[in-house]
Amino acid sequence: MKKVFLFSWFVFIFYFIYAIFIMRNATYFAANYQYGSKGQTVIQIQTKLKNWGYYDGPIDGIYGYKTYSAVKYFQRKNGLYPDGVVGPKTLAALGINESKSSGSDSYSSNQRLLSRAISGEARGEPYVGQVAVGAVIINRTRDPRFPSTIPGVIYQPGAFTAVSDGQINLEPVSSAVKASTDALNGWDPSGGAVFYYNPEKTTNKWIWSRPVIKVIGKHVFCK
């Protein structure tokens, strides 16, 4: 009788702990997309990956092998753990917000991402130079040579060092957060630039050939 009681108590404790674990992690599990998943969010994932050159399969909303491989490629290139599972961090990196959001929520999402990009690219630069980097990203969204969204511009393959080295995933410095607000509100110290570079670090001959608009701090801003 005592053994039966102890066993029943063990089973009760096990399921109690399991229930707490599931409740606490329900949001995490619900937000994961992986091999075999289907639906509208998978279509968004495939569309983003295809637009940015990571995916060459159909936009069918079915998370198959090609989608899985493209996600792993995207994760490796953007400093994320390459497990092929689209969780909250990968969704954020793709610029996908699943919540039913208002325009202000979308604005905030863009501002957070822009802040991280400015911080990774221009941390330590004069404040006006940080705003200018944000302005370049925004200017690209209006140029047909580039993607039309802030996440699309930032995560375009090979576009920004902060994405390649993973700094895009770090918390932004406070000045970058303020600079993102100023850039989104229309301040453009770059003078309409769509490119910039640090001549002390850049060996790319093509970027050196671009018409220079101005120099701010260590960055050269150009057309």
- Could you please state the CATH topology (level 3) that the domain comprising 103-222 is classified under: Arc Repressor Mutant, subunit A (1.10.10)
**Predicted pLDDT of residue 199:** 93
Looking at the predicted structure, is the pLDDT value of residue 13 above 70? no
Mean pLDDT of the chain: 84
Whether the CB-CB separation of 154 and 169 falls below 8 Å is answered with: no
**In CATH, what number does 34-98 get?**
1.10.101.10
Looking at the predicted structure, is the pLDDT value of residue 190 above 90? yes
| pTM tops 0.75, yes or no | no
**Predicted pLDDT of residue 14:** 54
Selected residue with higher pLDDT from 20 and 80: 80
φ and ψ at 5, to 5 degrees? Answer: -65, -45
Distance CA 84, CA 214 (A): 42
**Predicted pLDDT of residue 177:** 95
**Percent over 90 (pLDDT), the chain:** 52
Domain extents in the chain: 1-30, 34-98, 103-222
pLDDT in tens, 132-160: 999 999 999 999 999 888 988 999 988 99
**Predicted pLDDT of residue 148:** 86
pLDDT band (50, 70, 90) for residue 202: confident
For range 68-94, the mean pLDDT: 91
pLDDT band (50, 70, 90) for residue 85: very high
For range 59-68, the mean pLDDT: 89
Residue in the block written with tokens 């209006």: 142
